Amino acid sequence: MASLIDELISILQKEYEIYQQLIPIVEEKTLVIVQNDITALQVITGREQDVVDQINVLEHKREDVMANIKIVIGSKAEDLNLNTLIQLLVKQPKEQKALSILHDNLKKTIQRLVEINDRNKSLIQQSLEMIEFNMNFIQSTRMSPGNNTYNKGAAQYGAQAFGTGMFDAKQ
C-alpha cells in the first residue's frame, strides 16, 4: 500500500502544479474579456483547454489509484476520500502530512480558480446583456418611423413605412 500512497502523492503534486499553471491563464482571460478581444480570448481558451486536458489525465490516474487503495484496505467505493485516507494513515505520519498539505493546497487553489471563473462568467454575462441591449436598440431605431411630427388631427405626416426589421426572413 505504501507504493500506492506514494503514487497518489506524486499524482496530487502534479495536479497541484498544473492547477497553479492554470491560475495566470484564467487571470489573463479576465483581462481579455474586459478588453473584449475575441481573438485573444480564443487563444487563451485553447491554452486553458490544454491545461484542463492534462488535469483530466491526472484525475483519471488518481481515481485508479484511489480504487486500488480501496481494494487494499477493503473499503467500500463511496467511503474513501482523501480526508478519510489521511485519517487512516496514523501509522504513516510522513505520508499523512504530505497528503494533508497537498489536500489543503489543492483546496485553496481550486477555490481561487472558482472565484476567478465566477468573475469571468459574470463579465461574459454582462457583455452578452450589453450586446442584447445594443441589438434591441438598433432594431427599435430601424423599426421606428423616421419623422415623429404630428398635425392637428393627431395624424402623423411625412411618416415612412416600417422597415422589414433587422433580420430578413426571406431566404
> What pLDDT digit, counting tens, does each position of 38-55 carry?
999 999 999 999 999 999
Question: pTM of this prediction?
Answer: 0.74
Fold of domain 2-126: Methane Monooxygenase Hydroxylase; Chain G, domain 1 (1.20.58)
Q: What letter would DSSP give residue 150?
A: B
Q: Give the pLDDT band (50/70/90) at residue 122.
A: very high
Selection from 52-56, 67-71, 167-171 with the highest mean pLDDT: 52-56
Q: Given pLDDT bands bounded at 50, 70 and 90, which one contains residue 141?
A: confident
25-34, 81-90, 95-104, 131-140: least confident range? 131-140
CA atoms within 13 A on the CB side of 55: 16
Query: Is a pLDDT exceeding 50 seen at residue 152?
Result: yes
Cα dihedral across residues 145, 149, 151, 157: positive or negative = negative
Maximum C-alpha span of the chain: 96
What's the whole-number average pLDDT of the chain? 86
pLDDT surpassing 80 at residue 153: no
Look up residue 3 and give its three cell numbers: 507504493
